[in-house]
Chains A and B, each alone.
Chain A
């Protein structure tokens, strides 16, 4: 077969968390027989989760080192038969498009696991109802399942496998939001689940369509259809899908493109399919918001790049202007909505919507800088928005509300926190020197020649971004100290462990984005060729 197995690293990265989840199931089983106390079971689950995610992170670091950016094909391939009757394979690998996302997933998962630990002993701010104390083994098991799903999506090169991992992710998310979430958790959880599922079932039909109209490959002497994404990409580039029979009277490629796009657009989230995000983010517990914003939102863009751009380039060209327009709407619309928010977490949720618009804008320009900026934005946003949500988590744990106007002058009481908050906010608004600027700027560089008006409008929306962030800082941090918070403790070590690494990375990549761009450039260039 093409692309023979070269390394099982990705399989280890994908399934180590599931192995951890099984161990936790055992822990639950032992606990139910009474042999283990609640505290011991909780600690055991936490340790298993930490070890599993740390192991994945170590593997991700190795992957980064060992990845060869000068080759544009897939590396670290593992290829095995899964369902021979339909030529469905277990085919995983990384190339420039997915490597940053795999590493990001490992990093953010690890940070989220740390953020799921209760505060160190001595800080008696948490009661038994805090999400870090309730049903801990179940939480850790769900978290680990989620990690598997996320990594699996990014490494899958078989479209069926991709779809299975995509759906696998939904289940743990539903429970994580619905059981450990905030006031309206059930509503937020079912809304997230239904909305994403509705999008992805349309994707399923498109996938089946791509399969049946796709290339035939020789398997054991006979020709069979395939789900191989790379083969589909070749076929699409060569115009194979153009000869597919019309669907409902419309061109197959366009219908399939739209069906896939809707599924991915819900995840991005793109206006008008974005309204699940504020509810899901706000009601989810902090580490889950971190994962949701840091990793899950990236899947939509990744899917578009891998499937829509890969297999259906002609339809992508047809839809480019629409994508750019929607990207601009995302940026501007969501920025204005942020300005009106009183709940800090909701504001940051909408700012995520806004920033993902940059990716759409960059991608749709079909320039090297545009698409580099878009994928770079995935990385930088993947660092910044987890930090933002962790920041919100810190204040919510202490004040038990997130009303921006209910704070005031906190910089006097919690200066370290104020500094970190300032860093995160400035990174998100695109201050040069921090990584958010680099990606925004690159996107604008790429899209200005192609979509001048839209880029100008988007660039002015950056001002609105600055407005809402600075206004939030002013209302929360500056001015006279709100007497209610005279005794607020500053960030503790557990929070520092999650915030400082991200802060460091944000600063480092603000000055040295080349590290990422070098990884992604070649593969993106290859992806872009049929579109230019």
Chain B
């Protein structure tokens, strides 16, 4: 579809672009106003609502946009709602967090919208260059937002590490993209003449015996190229061995942004991974199973990455004291669990990732919100600052308990829903390595209980260092309750989530 016709499907992104610009202008205009924070927040919420409306009004169906650079399909809409939800939460959290000063709030919000625009693009990109462009948009804005507190040394260090690491990762990815272009003559991933189509067609250039110095050489080039592209994607979702930026950045960035970072770009990274992986390297067979069109055992490699990621994330989190760092490692571990769904190479696996991501937004943002609430009152982010929270801030403590047990994956909370679906996808596929991976996954869940329970232990089983209650803003309490209730509900009532995930990918729930 040509550029002009595609604009019809590009309303949300257009709104987000306008929002960015408008927030900058609003920031300038309200610079001296006394109620600057409220006005800016209201403005941001207005634009967000507009973007939501635009997303809502999008027609259904699957339509390639801009000559194949983007794809409009139900999965794009699914991820759009995840991004909007995460953004809403961040906009609500930031003003009262005491981490972004009032005179810089406008910039923050503007940049946030730019980031969301990048996320939207990531979720619908079907061309390698668009993928790269979207990832870079997200990354660049993330660097800035990480280092937003210019006076904070930790933030500066985190931002610098992020920039360098992200730069290298993007560079590596771009190198992989270039190799793919060399092999296939196009950067189109999905669609006629795209990489996926060429791989499935044995008469295409790649498979000719004399091309590229012979089959093994072509194979090697293909593998290297894809591994390098996946390096870029893996960096975004923070999986081993591309995770090392994660703890430092999560710890250094302002916590509201960390909360957003842990869910938004991660979800978008998975969107890219799903599109790239499944569209290119797996041919869908009946029954929702995928067979790879090359001889490379990609599900096995994903499985290995997943196992290492989970284990490293969980085991390293055991010894962390700083809560933001601990949650960073926990994020790495959850990336591992999500990758299991990818490794199952089936429709059920992808649907499980989608459900898991929705629930993950609630759990993770909620957990970070409590961290923000405690740090704004006590100034501390370590486990010992949470001691006695059960009596000092009962609702926050209760909410955090719900979030942490949900992150562990205990029924009847929604975290169990996500984990169950991932494990079910793996077991359904069967096979030696899938079962081994599932066993590693469940054991990791048990291990993760320890560090989540450590926080709960500090909150309820230990005495507070000071007796006075912690003041939690009413807005935060409201948001915490609003985040906990779905976790309790979706733990028992899976229907809507499953239907929604099925609409996004595969059409029917895969059993």
| A residues apposed to B, CB below 8 Å | 28, 32, 82-87, 163-164, 167-168, 170-171, 174-175, 178-179, 185-186, 189-190, 193-194, 197-198, 201-202, 204-205, 208-209, 211-212, 224-225, 245, 247-249
Among A179, A225, A248, the residue within 8 A (CB) of B436 is A248
B442, A248: Cβ atoms closer than 8 Å: no
B442, A201: Cβ atoms closer than 8 Å: yes
In the complex with contacts A178-B460, A178-B461, A198-B432 CB distance below 8 A: no
CB proximity of A471 to chain B, nearest CB, Å: 36
Beyond A164-B412, A197-B446, 6 additional contacts (C-beta under 8 Å) are A85-B511, A87-B511, A171-B405, A198-B443, A201-B443, A205-B438
B439, A190: Cβ atoms closer than 8 Å: no
- B390-436: which residues lie under 8 A (CB-CB) from chain A? 394, 405, 410-412, 416, 420, 423-424, 427-428, 430, 432, 435-436
Interface of A is mostly: helix
CB proximity of A219 to chain B, nearest CB, Å: 11
In the complex with contacts A164-B412, A225-B511, A202-B442 CB distance below 8 A: yes
A179, B460: Cβ atoms closer than 8 Å: yes
Q: B298 at the A/B interface (Cβ < 8 Å)?
A: no
Among A163, A178, A211, A249, the residue within 8 A (CB) of B411 is A163
A190, B438: Cβ atoms closer than 8 Å: no
Among A84, A163, A212, A245, the residue within 8 A (CB) of B495 is A84
B461, A197: Cβ atoms closer than 8 Å: no
CB proximity of A195 to chain B, nearest CB, Å: 9
B511, A245: Cβ atoms closer than 8 Å: no
**Cβ of B482: which chain A residues have Cβ within 8 Å of it?**
none
**Cβ of A82: which chain B residues have Cβ within 8 Å of it?**
492
Among B411, B461, B502, the residue within 8 A (CB) of A167 is B411
**Cβ of A245: which chain B residues have Cβ within 8 Å of it?**
430
In the complex with contacts A197-B446, A197-B449, A179-B427 CB distance below 8 A: no
**Cβ of A224: which chain B residues have Cβ within 8 Å of it?**
511
A190, B450: Cβ atoms closer than 8 Å: yes
CB proximity of B407 to chain A, nearest CB, Å: 14
Closest to A82 in B: B492
Interface of B is mostly: helix
Among A86, A174, A211, the residue within 8 A (CB) of B453 is A174
**Cβ of B449: which chain A residues have Cβ within 8 Å of it?**
193-194, 197
Contact with A along B451-493 (1 / 0, CB 8 A): 0010001001100000000000000000000000000000011
Listed by A's residue number, 30 A-B pairs whose Cβ atoms lie within 8 Å are A28-B394, A83-B494, A83-B495, A83-B498, A85-B494, A85-B498, A86-B494, A164-B412, A167-B411, A168-B412, A171-B405, A171-B410, A178-B460, A178-B461, A185-B461, A189-B457, A190-B453, A194-B450, A201-B443, A204-B423, A205-B427, A205-B442, A209-B427, A211-B424, A212-B428, A247-B430, A247-B432, A248-B435, A248-B436, A249-B432
CA A194 to CA B448, docked complex, whole Å: 9
Number of interface residues of B (CB under 8 A): 36
A247, B443: Cβ atoms closer than 8 Å: no
List of 4 A-B pairs having minimum Cβ-Cβ separation, nearest first: A201-B442, A198-B446, A164-B411, A85-B509
CB proximity of B344 to chain A, nearest CB, Å: 12
**Cβ of B494: which chain A residues have Cβ within 8 Å of it?**
83, 85-86
Among B442, B461, B499, the residue within 8 A (CB) of A204 is B442
CB proximity of B434 to chain A, nearest CB, Å: 10
Contact with A along B372-400 (1 / 0, CB 8 A): 00000000000000000000001000000
B457, A178: Cβ atoms closer than 8 Å: yes
Q: B139 at the A/B interface (Cβ < 8 Å)?
A: no
B420, A204: Cβ atoms closer than 8 Å: yes
Q: B364 at the A/B interface (Cβ < 8 Å)?
A: no
**Cβ of B412: which chain A residues have Cβ within 8 Å of it?**
164, 167-168
A193, B453: Cβ atoms closer than 8 Å: yes
**Cβ of B502: which chain A residues have Cβ within 8 Å of it?**
85
CA A86 to CA B427, docked complex, whole Å: 14
**Cβ of B499: which chain A residues have Cβ within 8 Å of it?**
85
**Cβ of B258: which chain A residues have Cβ within 8 Å of it?**
none
CA A178 to CA B439, docked complex, whole Å: 29
Closest to A249 in B: B432
**Cβ of A83: which chain B residues have Cβ within 8 Å of it?**
493-495, 498
A167, B410: Cβ atoms closer than 8 Å: yes
A32, B394: Cβ atoms closer than 8 Å: yes
**Cβ of B443: which chain A residues have Cβ within 8 Å of it?**
198, 201
